[in-house]
């Protein structure tokens, strides 16, 4: 855990202000009352938003998949949301930035702390040029449950979520179930189904998750998908 000197202006706002719309009764159940935002960009968040999440100890194949999916989506003007964790999250954020796209980091720590510590520079870049937010005020302690709570918030602010790689105990599963509870599209990357020992993918499929074989599938469910597809054609 790394604590950063924090002299940035922090905007305190509600999820409604971040998204530019009221929350429905289902969304309100686990929504934070306040979010602390560090960004040089304005709010509300504009355009379609997709979360890319997965294992901290990701395989090389999983890292490449996260990078490729993020790269494809930002070229279609999709904002990439992730949690700044090691592995899949880092790959998604980094790929979005390198491709000239936009990304939002939803932290499980206060804004003045970084976890993992090696992502301190990436967090600074996101604060400078993108969006970094936390529902935990500066000075509050970091607890393991904060990262589960953070995943719920990521599902809330995203129009769709993608799990790229995750074991049976991965924190990303909390986001998957929350996305399904909210009625948000949830995609599971095809490679996950190659591991017959995993039970969660089949369970999530039963509740409406979709096997992702091509990132173009995501465009079909995003709010501005009709505009994007027309431009592509």
- Contact (CB, 8 A) for 52 and 88: yes
pLDDT in tens, 129-168: 999 999 999 989 999 999 999 999 999 999 999 999 999 9
**Confidence class of residue 101 from pLDDT cuts 50, 70 and 90?**
very high
Contact partners, residue 146, CB within 8 Å, separation at least 6: 108, 109, 136
Buried b (16+ CB within 10 A) or exposed e, 184-202: bbbbbbeebeeeeebebbe
What is the rounded distance in angstroms from the CA atom of residue 92 to the CA atom of residue 185? 18
Would you state the pLDDT for residue 227?
Answer: 43
Beta strands in the chain (DSSP E): 2-3, 11-13, 35-39, 49-54, 79-82, 103-107, 113-114, 131-134, 160-165, 186-189, 210-212
Its domain, for residue 197, covers 2-232
- Which has more pLDDT, 120 or 7? 120
What value does the mean pLDDT take over residues 105-123?
96
Structure tokens at 118: 């090696």
Give 8's pLDDT tier (boundaries 50, 70, 90): confident
- The CATH number of the domain holding residue 75 is 3.40.50.450
How many domains in the chain?
1
Please provide the size of the chain in residues.
233
The pTM is what?
Answer: 0.93
Q: Averaged over 50-63, what is the pLDDT?
A: 97
Tens of pLDDT, residues 208-229: 999 999 999 999 999 964 444 4
Burial label for 209, CB within 10 Å (0-12, 13-18, 19+), is buried
Q: Is the pLDDT of residue 181 over 70?
A: yes
Confidence class for position 231, pLDDT limits 50, 70, 90: very low
* Percent above pLDDT 70 for the chain: 93
Residue 2 above 70 pLDDT? Answer: no
Separation CA 167–CA 208 (nearest Å): 19
């Amino acid at each position: 855990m790394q604590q950063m000197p924090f002299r940035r202006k922090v905007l305190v706002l509600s999820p409604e202000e971040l998204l530019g719309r009221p929350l429905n009764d289902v969304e309100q159940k686990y929504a934070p009352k306040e979010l602390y935002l560090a960004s040089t960009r304005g709010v509300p968040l504009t355009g379609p938003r997709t979360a890319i999440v997965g294992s901290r100890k990701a395989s090389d194949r999983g890292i490449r998949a996260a990078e490729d999916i993020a790269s494809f989506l930002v070229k279609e003007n999709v904002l990439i949301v992730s949690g700044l964790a090691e592995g899949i999250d880092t790959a998604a954020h980094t790929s979005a930035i390198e491709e000239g796209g936009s990304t939002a980091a939803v932290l499980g720590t206060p804004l003045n702390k970084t976890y993992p510590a090696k992502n301190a520079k990436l967090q600074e870049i996101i604060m400078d040029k993108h969006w970094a937010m936390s529902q935990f005020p500066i000075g509050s302690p970091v607890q393991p449950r904060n990262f589960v709570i953070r995943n719920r918030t990521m599902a809330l602010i995203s129009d769709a979520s993608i799990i790229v790689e995750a074991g049976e105990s991965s924190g990303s599963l909390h986001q998957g179930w929350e996305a399904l509870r909210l009625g948000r599209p949830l995609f599971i990357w095809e490679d996950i189904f190659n591991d017959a020992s995993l039970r969660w993918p089949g369970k999530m499929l039963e509740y409406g998750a979709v096997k992702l074989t091509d990132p173009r599938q995501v465009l079909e469910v995003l709010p501005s998908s009709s505009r994007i597809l027309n431009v592509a054609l």
